[in-house]
Chain A
């Protein structure tokens, strides 16, 4: 089986504090891989390394190698923007933009310069359907995303991530803030992806 990520001797520091110690891991492609552990053990730190989201933290420092698709994603030659587009992410807390439901999903396309209404309409509908939220929002696509419930917002964020067709989607405990019914809906969806998923 091919591996999607090859992680070698990964050390992560926040200032002087070491958060991850010598992680070696192969993550297979076309499968779901789950990372589990007690709270504060570094799960989020780990998966945020995979799409370079930790770059935003000024005190963050990393040693070791993360190979994705044959390239070291922390090498200087790599385009962070491109990495993040190919490796999508859904966060712990739902974080829809304060825009309409439609524009939330369309955002990823618009920033790539895709502005054709027909194309965007199509992708928005398909993404919302894949995230199992289409039926609930199809009549109010142009209302604010902030009017949705927490579980709906999180599924909207999943739709937003799917819309740009990433090769990998990273889920950072997407259901930690949700009730069991919303959780079931989202987990149900996770199984449906044929992409590689981490959680």
Chain B
């Protein structure tokens, strides 16, 4: 009898240890980020960091203004959103409200395959296909630019937005559609004025997830957008995003413990902060007025999973 209890205790202990492991890892990552950032800001003033308009830590004349990197991330993210949010939402509306069951069972998995393509492939697709294609229409476009990187990033994000939005819209009960149809609504009116508002929390979650994916995307921008931090809104010239910079330093021969090395932590922690605020905003959207919380748990789960992956990516880049 007693032996059983001991065994039970050991099992419980093991389960607890594996559950707590991820918590420790997260705490560890945050700890390293904070420590290295602290060391960085001992040397560089935070005011310079946030207001200087040049980012040249790897040059002889060093400037540590994060703004150009943020501008790069901001620019590519905006382009990706302009591409992915409308297309993603429209295809979700089509799949959920118009297509037959047969079409949906074919199209949805195919669309989701887009999300499974390795991002390095997207990166080369942007650099070697989209950019030359755009150059036919825009001869002044440089070989590395934020436009094609943003567009391709948008293509990559479409399945995230469409698939999660479709799940949310699919979860809206049939009785609501019937209620609207019985009043003489057209299918389009049902979709736009009943189903989309009812699924709004899920749709918003998919948008935010898409945005955070764009902000955290590394490979595509590192390959196709260039490595020239510059504070600009010009879509045609090379830029550099925060993530691309982290890659640049990680792959280069920057010795550990130097100031140059610590810049990536300082840059990374702002991104981590951004990810956390996305997470909080997504949880707020779930409590909106008049929205259904259906499909919400799955969104929350998806986001949590995503945040884990992106912070893990961040840290793997660093190490």
Q: Which residues of B contact A100 (CB under 8 A)?
A: 290
Closest A residue to B185 using CB positions: A111
Q: Which residues of A contact B292 (CB under 8 A)?
A: 98
> Which residues of chain A in 86-144 are interfacial with respect to chain B, using CB atoms and an 8 Å cutoff?
86, 88-89, 91, 93, 95-100, 107-108, 110-112, 144
Q: Let me know if A58 and B101 touch, CB within 8 A.
A: yes
Q: A84 contacts the other chain (Cβ, under 8 Å)? A: yes
**Minimum distance in angstroms from A163 CB to a CB of chain B:** 8
Closest A residue to B294 using CB positions: A98
14 residue pairs from A and B, CB less than 8 Å apart: A84-B183, A85-B184, A88-B182, A89-B182, A91-B175, A95-B176, A95-B179, A96-B179, A97-B197, A98-B176, A107-B183, A111-B189, A112-B184, A161-B182
Tell me the bound Cα distance from A96 to B173 in angstroms: 11
**Residue among B173, B182, B184, B291 with max Cβ neighbours from chain A (10 Å):** B182
**Residue among A51, A84, A144, A164 with max Cβ neighbours from chain B (10 Å):** A84
Q: B194 contacts the other chain (Cβ, under 8 Å)? A: yes
Q: Let me know if B180 and A97 touch, CB within 8 A.
A: yes
Tell me the bound Cα distance from A111 to B180 in angstroms: 9
Tell me the bound Cα distance from A51 to B182 in angstroms: 8
Tell me the bound Cα distance from A98 to B173 in angstroms: 11
Q: A81 contacts the other chain (Cβ, under 8 Å)? A: yes
Q: Which residues of A contact B153 (CB under 8 A)?
A: none
Q: Let me know if A97 and B184 touch, CB within 8 A.
A: no
Q: Which residues of B contact A157 (CB under 8 A)?
A: 179
Q: Which residues of A contact B9 (CB under 8 A)?
A: none
Q: Let me know if A91 and B178 touch, CB within 8 A.
A: yes
Tell me the bound Cα distance from A18 to B246 in angstroms: 67
B residues within 8 Å of A by Cβ? 100-101, 173-186, 189, 193-194, 197-198, 289-292
Given A97-B179, A98-B176, 17 other A-B residues pairs in contact with their CB atoms under 8 A: A51-B182, A58-B100, A58-B101, A84-B181, A84-B182, A85-B184, A91-B179, A93-B175, A95-B178, A97-B197, A98-B198, A98-B290, A110-B193, A111-B183, A111-B193, A112-B184, A161-B183
Tell me the bound Cα distance from A116 to B291 in angstroms: 25
Instruction: Scan A29-52; emit 1 where CB is below 8 A from any B CB, else 0.
Output: 000000000000000000000010
Q: A78 contacts the other chain (Cβ, under 8 Å)? A: no
Tally of contact residues, A, Cβ under 8 A: 30
**Minimum distance in angstroms from B285 CB to a CB of chain A:** 14
A residues within 8 Å of B by Cβ? 51, 53, 56, 58, 81-82, 84-86, 88-89, 91, 93, 95-100, 107-108, 110-112, 144, 146, 157, 160-161, 164
Q: Let me know if A88 and B183 touch, CB within 8 A.
A: yes
Q: Which residues of A contact B182 (CB under 8 A)?
A: 51, 53, 84, 88-89, 91, 161
Closest A residue to B200 using CB positions: A98
Q: Let me know if B181 and A56 touch, CB within 8 A.
A: yes
Tell me the bound Cα distance from A93 to B197 in angstroms: 21
**Minimum distance in angstroms from B197 CB to a CB of chain A:** 7
**Minimum distance in angstroms from B61 CB to a CB of chain A:** 58
**Minimum distance in angstroms from A13 CB to a CB of chain B:** 19
Tell me the bound Cα distance from A58 to B179 in angstroms: 18
Tell me the bound Cα distance from A41 to B84 in angstroms: 49
User: A53 is contacted by which of B181, B186, B197, B290 (Cβ under 8 Å)?
Assistant: B181
